[in-house]
Chains A and B, each alone.
Chain A
Amino acid sequence: MGYAAARGGLEAILAAEELMRAKRDGGSSPPLEVGQVTERLNLAVDRVMGEAGLWAPDLAARALRQAEGDVIEAAHLLRAYRSTRPRLATGLVTDPGELEVLRRIVPAYRVPPGPQLLGRTLDYVGRLLDDGTPGREPQGLPASGPEANGAGVNGAAADGAGDGQGEARHPARLLELLRAQGMIRDRRRDDDPEPYDVTRDPVRPGAPRSARLSVMARAETGALVNLWYRNILGPDGYIHEITLGEVRHGRLPVRVTHPVTGQPVRVGSVRVTEVEAIEDLDGPDEDRGLFDVGYGMCLGHNERKAIAMANLDIAVERDGGRSPLEQNVLMTTDGLDASGFLEHLKLPHYVTFRSMADRKAAVRAAARAARQEAEAAR
């Protein structure tokens, strides 16, 4: 066995790999530690986990480091790793009500059921570049678990926050209030269908809602944001702006059935961002007296993704297959698919190009023959 028979290509790619490694692992600064990536670049780590569809902070940090900060490349590394792992168990259904919130805001109400919990967010932090000015540079802080201490607003302080117990950490939902008022179109179902597993069954339009939500949960953030925005300012316009009912970031327990005892057992928790979007039903065939709800949830802290997702969820629901929106959501938002295919254009294409050139010559020859025929007939 050996590669000796094939010339050129292998040496070139080995050299390219070496160049990548030399620049990434060389240089004058100390090597990047995994812990630094998970702590200091936690939003990038969250994004990689979300787009990979795998909760594994340390592996995501390693992937991000290996990919030199390229989020899609890192998500690819993580997903390709996941392909080699067998599926040993399936998580049991978890009620999102179990979400232990680190942050929770309800833009639709000034005083909603439960607290407005601003938590950790950049939303109201001045975007002033750390340009090295004293006071703007990161400083070492005593470890205080800042993530656990949500800052209360509207007077609803995060009491009892540390132990993850109590109403402040498991607030009631605005949706429950609106449902109680009869304001929400009720699409809840009585049966309990198995969720569609997009990693085991390829999706295509007409897929159930669980497939749509799974696809979007793994989608590239930018793709969802763009799909949403082209409906706002672009030519599509299938959706309009919703009002956010819930924006939550928090921890959700993961349980599986114990293989020996058969009992549910908690194996860990994941952080997720969850969004409920209140939609104003205004179509001619819709009940103008009701609101409807779109849902978004993704791994990690990524609010723009979850918001776009919730908006697109209800938009696809209302569209009912009339427009290409569902196909766009299901088929065009995966970061690995889109980027991989785009970048494959760098591969050699000289066999296909030669075939195209052959057809160009054939078209010109046919035109020439037709001209000569016409001239001869004159």
Chain B
Amino acid sequence: MTVAALAASAGAGEFGHLDEQSKREIRCALLTAVAVPGYQVPFASREMPVARGWGSGGLQVTLAVIGPQDTVKVIDQGDDAGVNAANLRRLIVGCTNVPDTTDAREASIIQTRHRIPEEPLRADQTLVLQVPVPEPLRGVERDMRELRRMHAESDYSRIWVSLYEDLVRNGVITQSTGYPVLVGGRYVMATSPIPRWDVPKLHQAPFLSLFGAGREKRVYAVPPHTSVEPLAFEDVAFQVERTEGASCLLCGAAEAYLVEVPDRKGWICSDTDWCERRRTPGDDAGETGRAGAELAGAGGSARDAADG
């Protein structure tokens, strides 16, 4: 027997970059995560070709669940053309040869950082979220042993107290993104950091959401049709981001997650695919404009910025 023969028997990096042992291990962790919604499942977390904190967890999850029949979409901040999305897409497609798309309706796997597409996702689609900080209670407790105890015993009193104190001090709950939610009535979970705007999309969703935190070596999941309730008080409703009178300069949407464009004293959709399709005749109402394409573009090239 040769080393090469041994290596071949272990399926070294033929499809999806990771060797088969590694993928199996991640799948095992994901199955546990699906079985215990909202619970952070430890997994080994390999070092990936992207740095820790740059989507290494999401990438491992995607590569563990992807097959040749899949179509993948990758977004960062809702944008398919963002540099990190482009890089991750390049890696995923490069090692699997699966087709990629920007159309959220065509994708069977959508890997995302910080957003859930505006397009309602279906049961045959899987959302993979990149997670920098998987621990929702870290703001109130730093000690990892104590954190385990708190989750194990559903002792969530301190995060409730912190929300109450926030409200009393500031008049509103100031938690912005990654809003804590109670999943399946059992585990408090960090919503990666998606904006509050996207949190209700997880509640009783028809699709599967997988969360991968590579640096902290945790995966967790929200299976389809699971209750996901933002922590809020009976008399103080959970609020999503909303700016009075704001609508997208490109497609006119007001009911979308908008990001500010100070130069134009206005707002545009963060979900570029959805926004674009709203402007495409025969798709959704609206029209495509040159100015729009320019605004939605990814900005200056690296060549302009480099020192040469």
- Chain A: residues with CB nearer than 8 A to chain B? 1-3, 5-13, 15-16, 19, 76, 79-80, 82-89, 199-202, 204-206, 259-260, 321, 324, 327, 331, 336-337, 339-344, 347-352, 354-359, 361-363, 365-367, 369-370
Residues of B contacting A259 with CB < 8 Å?
A: 1, 6
Whole-angstrom distance between the alpha carbons of A355 and B175 in the complex?
Answer: 9
Whole-angstrom distance between the alpha carbons of A366 and B56 in the complex?
Answer: 39
Interface size range of chain B in the complex: 35 or more
Most B C-beta atoms less than 10 A away, residue of A76, A359, A365: A359
Does the CB pair A348–B42 fall under 8 Å?
no
Does the CB pair A340–B80 fall under 8 Å?
no
Does the CB pair B22–A83 fall under 8 Å?
yes
Does the CB pair A7–B215 fall under 8 Å?
no
Residues of B contacting A9 with CB < 8 Å?
A: 79-87, 298
8 A Cβ contacts from B139-173 to A:
142-145, 148, 170-172
B308 at the interface (CB under 8 A from A): yes
Does the CB pair A359–B47 fall under 8 Å?
no
Residues of B contacting A342 with CB < 8 Å?
A: 53
Whole-angstrom distance between the alpha carbons of A173 and B97 in the complex?
Answer: 56
Query: CB within 8 A of B93: which of A1, A358, A366?
Result: A1
| Chain A: minimal CB distance from B270 (Å) | 5
| Chain B: minimal CB distance from A365 (Å) | 8
Smallest CB-CB A-B distances: 4 pairs: A8-B298, A366-B171, A86-B10, A340-B52
B interface secondary structure, majority: loop
8 A Cβ contacts from B7-62 to A:
7, 10-13, 17-22, 25, 42-49, 51-54, 56
Whole-angstrom distance between the alpha carbons of A1 and B92 in the complex?
Answer: 12
* B113 to chain A: closest residue by CB: A347
* B194 to chain A: closest residue by CB: A351
Whole-angstrom distance between the alpha carbons of A204 and B142 in the complex?
Answer: 13
B226 at the interface (CB under 8 A from A): no
Residues of B contacting A365 with CB < 8 Å?
A: 172
Whole-angstrom distance between the alpha carbons of A186 and B189 in the complex?
Answer: 44
* B22 to chain A: closest residue by CB: A83
Does the CB pair B241–A355 fall under 8 Å?
yes
- Chain B: residues with CB nearer than 8 A to chain A? 1, 3, 6-7, 10-13, 17-22, 25, 42-49, 51-54, 56, 76-87, 89-90, 93, 97-102, 113-115, 132, 142-145, 148, 170-172, 174-178, 193, 195-197, 215, 217-218, 239, 241-243, 257-260, 270, 296-303, 306, 308
6 A-B residue contacts at CB 8 Å?
A9-B87, A12-B298, A85-B7, A340-B51, A344-B132, A359-B174
| Chain A: minimal CB distance from B68 (Å) | 12
Does the CB pair B172–A19 fall under 8 Å?
no
Whole-angstrom distance between the alpha carbons of A185 and B83 in the complex?
Answer: 56
Query: CB within 8 A of A13: which of B46, B52, B83, B308?
Result: B83
Whole-angstrom distance between the alpha carbons of A352 and B133 in the complex?
Answer: 14
Does the CB pair B52–A336 fall under 8 Å?
yes
Whole-angstrom distance between the alpha carbons of A205 and B144 in the complex?
Answer: 7
Residues of A contacting B303 with CB < 8 Å?
A: 15, 19
Whole-angstrom distance between the alpha carbons of A370 and B259 in the complex?
Answer: 28
Additional A-B contacts beyond A204-B148, A350-B259, A358-B176 (20; CB < 8 A): A5-B80, A9-B82, A9-B85, A9-B86, A9-B298, A10-B89, A15-B301, A19-B302, A76-B47, A80-B48, A86-B10, A89-B6, A200-B44, A341-B215, A344-B53, A349-B77, A351-B259, A351-B270, A356-B176, A370-B171
Residues of A contacting B218 with CB < 8 Å?
A: 202
Residues of B contacting A331 with CB < 8 Å?
A: 144
Q: Knowing A12-B298, A83-B18, A358-B241 touch, does A351 contact B177 (C-beta < 8 A)?
A: yes
Does the CB pair B51–A336 fall under 8 Å?
yes
Residues of B contacting A87 with CB < 8 Å?
A: 10, 21
Residues of B contacting A343 with CB < 8 Å?
A: 51, 53-54
Does the CB pair B115–A202 fall under 8 Å?
no
Whole-angstrom distance between the alpha carbons of A181 and B129 in the complex?
Answer: 59
Whole-angstrom distance between the alpha carbons of A313 and B173 in the complex?
Answer: 43
Whole-angstrom distance between the alpha carbons of A10 and B76 in the complex?
Answer: 13
Residues of B contacting A10 with CB < 8 Å?
A: 81, 86, 89-90
Whole-angstrom distance between the alpha carbons of A79 and B44 in the complex?
Answer: 13
Does the CB pair A202–B45 fall under 8 Å?
yes
Does the CB pair A6–B81 fall under 8 Å?
yes
Does the CB pair A11–B301 fall under 8 Å?
yes
| Chain B: minimal CB distance from A364 (Å) | 9
Query: CB within 8 A of A86: which of B21, B44, B49, B174?
Result: B21
Residues of B contacting A370 with CB < 8 Å?
A: 171
| Chain B: minimal CB distance from A335 (Å) | 10
| Chain B: minimal CB distance from A363 (Å) | 5
Residues of B contacting A16 with CB < 8 Å?
A: 302, 306
Whole-angstrom distance between the alpha carbons of A218 and B112 in the complex?
Answer: 30
Does the CB pair B1–A12 fall under 8 Å?
no
Whole-angstrom distance between the alpha carbons of A11 and B81 in the complex?
Answer: 10
Residues of B contacting A1 with CB < 8 Å?
A: 93, 97-100
| Chain B: minimal CB distance from A307 (Å) | 26
Query: CB within 8 A of A205: which of B87, B89, B145?
Result: B145
Residues of B contacting A82 with CB < 8 Å?
A: 47
Does the CB pair B56–A340 fall under 8 Å?
yes
Does the CB pair A358–B87 fall under 8 Å?
no
Residues of A contacting B178 with CB < 8 Å?
A: 352
Does the CB pair B217–A202 fall under 8 Å?
yes
Does the CB pair A19–B308 fall under 8 Å?
yes
Whole-angstrom distance between the alpha carbons of A327 and B218 in the complex?
Answer: 17
Query: CB within 8 A of A363: which of B22, B84, B170?
Result: B170
Does the CB pair B100–A359 fall under 8 Å?
no
Q: Knowing A1-B97, A347-B76 touch, does A352 contact B52 (C-beta < 8 A)?
A: no
Q: Knowing A12-B302, A88-B6 touch, does A362 contact B12 (C-beta < 8 A)?
A: no
Whole-angstrom distance between the alpha carbons of A128 and B265 in the complex?
Answer: 60
Whole-angstrom distance between the alpha carbons of A208 and B291 in the complex?
Answer: 60
Q: Knowing A352-B176, A369-B171 touch, does A7 contact B297 (C-beta < 8 A)?
A: yes
* A354 to chain B: closest residue by CB: B259
Whole-angstrom distance between the alpha carbons of A356 and B197 in the complex?
Answer: 12
Q: Knowing A15-B303, A82-B47, A358-B241 touch, does A351 contact B114 (C-beta < 8 A)?
A: yes
Most A C-beta atoms less than 10 A away, residue of B86, B170, B175, B270: B86
